[in-house]
Amino acid sequence: MEGTLKNLKFYLFSIFGSIFIFSSLLANAVEIEYWQYTYKARVEAIDKLIANFEKANPDITIKHTNFPYADYRKKVAIAISSGDGPDLVQLYYGWLNDYRDSGLIQPLPKDAFSHDEIESNFFKMVSSMKVDGEYWGLPTAVRSLALFYNNDLLKEAGLSGPPETLDDLVDYAKKLTKRDGSGNLIQEGMAFDGGIGQTHHFWREVLVRHYGGQPYSDDGQKIAYNNDAGVKALTYLTDFEKTHKTTSNGFMNRGQDGFAAGKVGLYIDGSFRISKFVKAEGLNFSISELPGHNGTRYNFSSFWANALSSKAKGEKKEAAAKFLAYLTSDEAMQVWLDTVGELPAKPSVALVDANKQHELYGPFIRGLDYATATTFISEKPQRQSVVDAYDMVVLQGMSAKDAIAKVAKKEQELLDDFFGN
């Protein structure tokens, strides 16, 4: 009996001791804030990763906050500037210079994020986060473009398999376009989303390069598309609406909505759109790599990076850096791929056979081999340059040559102002 009581006392002591230790850890836990924009799959992914991290690191708790995309940048700027807001913040890589110049983020500590390891372990495009000898953030995932196509509509049009070349893309788009008796468009052969989609990336990093040019000089300080390559690329793009009549701006609101509804045959987008189309009732679609031209292929890559905000100091900075290290681990990248559909930022995760040959992710992952990430000075006005050029040709009747010259002059002024030229 006495032995039983001793065992019971020891058992109770162990329980209460564990509770005391756990309570002490919680009481002394460092709380950090993580901010991103609201996108259902991304929110789910971060919540999973936070749960995994907190389980392994009970001395750190993470408050996850997200905002609608339209409000996100303003919320971040106001909060950090006033000493509030996130310790770890997600930003589009094209916003890097804006965030640096505004003092919203700080360089990653080299003792925790070795430059040699970053440059050995991540895809090359991640180097666009390195400015003035410092890395300012790292991604969990990267993006590329691919072609979504509606299998049922292709079959109905007598087409087999995806278009392989730019010429094929035009031919397919024509055959997939339908109009009613009054000439109204009821099915788009090829859809574009203008300024809110990936069209400007497709023009800049795919079409311009296919026609023998490049969008910017190697040092990024000069416009390089104000030439025959830029004009041909813009003509190819605008001809879908102006000449071939296979698309119409605003058809079913957005191209992605038309494709989800089964009213669009071909649509270019990123892997993050997969989840929407998988959930679309009755949609039978496949994905292929972007069409080539004259035996070559080009693609665009981009990413959202995680960065330490300028308000993160002391133990909060250490905790935020530790969470960032986890967000860039192989485990986190696979969780992100499975949940969001965005591609692992490390070849060691992305290029395993199961991912490369995946029916849905594979074309995007293979596209990373020939993708380029544009080094933006300020992504929003540079995106608008392409939108304006498109509208000048399609809506105003301006020649592609004149439209290119006009937007190139304006964008060059932006670059000159930034570089002090």
Output the domain CATH number for residue 227. Answer: 3.40.190.10
> Per-residue pLDDT for 10 more than 70?
no
Query: What 3-state class would DSSP assign to 209?
Result: helix
Same domain, 291 and 206: yes
Residue 359 lies in a domain: no
Task: Give, in degrees to the nearest 5, the angle at Cα 299 between 346 and 198.
Answer: 100
State which amino acid sits at residue 373.
Answer: A
> Per-residue pLDDT for 25 more than 50?
no
Same domain, 322 and 408: no
Rounded to two decimals, the pTM is 0.85
Of 17-26, 281-290, 376-385, the range with the lowest mean pLDDT is 17-26
Domain boundary among 325, 341, 357: 341
State which amino acid sits at residue 219.
Answer: D
C-alpha to C-alpha distance for 165 and 289, rounded to whole angstroms = 10
Task: Report the pLDDT value the prediction gives residue 196, as an integer from 0 to 100.
Answer: 67
Same domain, 123 and 169: no
Residue 262 lies in a domain: yes
Same domain, 14 and 99: yes
| Beta carbons within 8 Å of 403's beta carbon, 6+ residues apart | 234, 388, 389, 392, 393
Domain boundary among 320, 341, 362: 341
Matching residue, tokens 């490390």: 346
Residue 69 lies in a domain: yes
Residue 347 lies in a domain: no
- What are the tokens at 106? 């700080």
Domain holding 66, by residue range, is 2-136+304-341
C-alpha to C-alpha distance for 133 and 183, rounded to whole angstroms = 58
Same domain, 154 and 126: no
Same domain, 92 and 213: no
> Per-residue pLDDT for 54 more than 90?
yes
Residue 356 lies in a domain: no
Residue 350 lies in a domain: no
Same domain, 215 and 114: no
Q: How many CA atoms lie within 13 Å of 358's alpha carbon, on the beta-carbon side?
A: 19
Task: Report the pLDDT value the prediction gives residue 353, as an integer from 0 to 100.
Answer: 92
Reported as a single tens digit per residue, the pLDDT across 118-160 is: 999 999 999 999 999 999 999 999 999 999 999 999 999 999 9
> Alpha helix (H) ranges present in 28-66?
40-56
Task: Give, in degrees to the nearest 5, the angle at Cα 127 between 50 and 210.
Answer: 115
> Per-residue pLDDT for 387 more than 80?
yes
Same domain, 323 and 264: no
What is the tally of structural domains in the chain?
Answer: 2
Name the pairing type of β-strands 60-67 and 30-37. Answer: parallel
* Dihedral sign of CA atoms 69, 45, 108, 374 in order: negative
Reported as a single tens digit per residue, the pLDDT across 210-261 is: 999 999 999 899 999 999 999 999 999 999 999 999 999 878 889 999 999 9
CB atoms closer than 10 angstroms to residue 221: 15
* Dihedral sign of CA atoms 153, 158, 164, 166 in order: negative
Same domain, 279 and 314: no
Same domain, 21 and 118: yes
Residue 220 lies in a domain: yes
The 138-139 sheet, strands edge to edge: 60-67, 30-37, 88-92, 304-308, 138-139
Residue 365 lies in a domain: no
Same domain, 172 and 130: no
Same domain, 116 and 201: no
Domain boundary among 341, 363, 389: 341
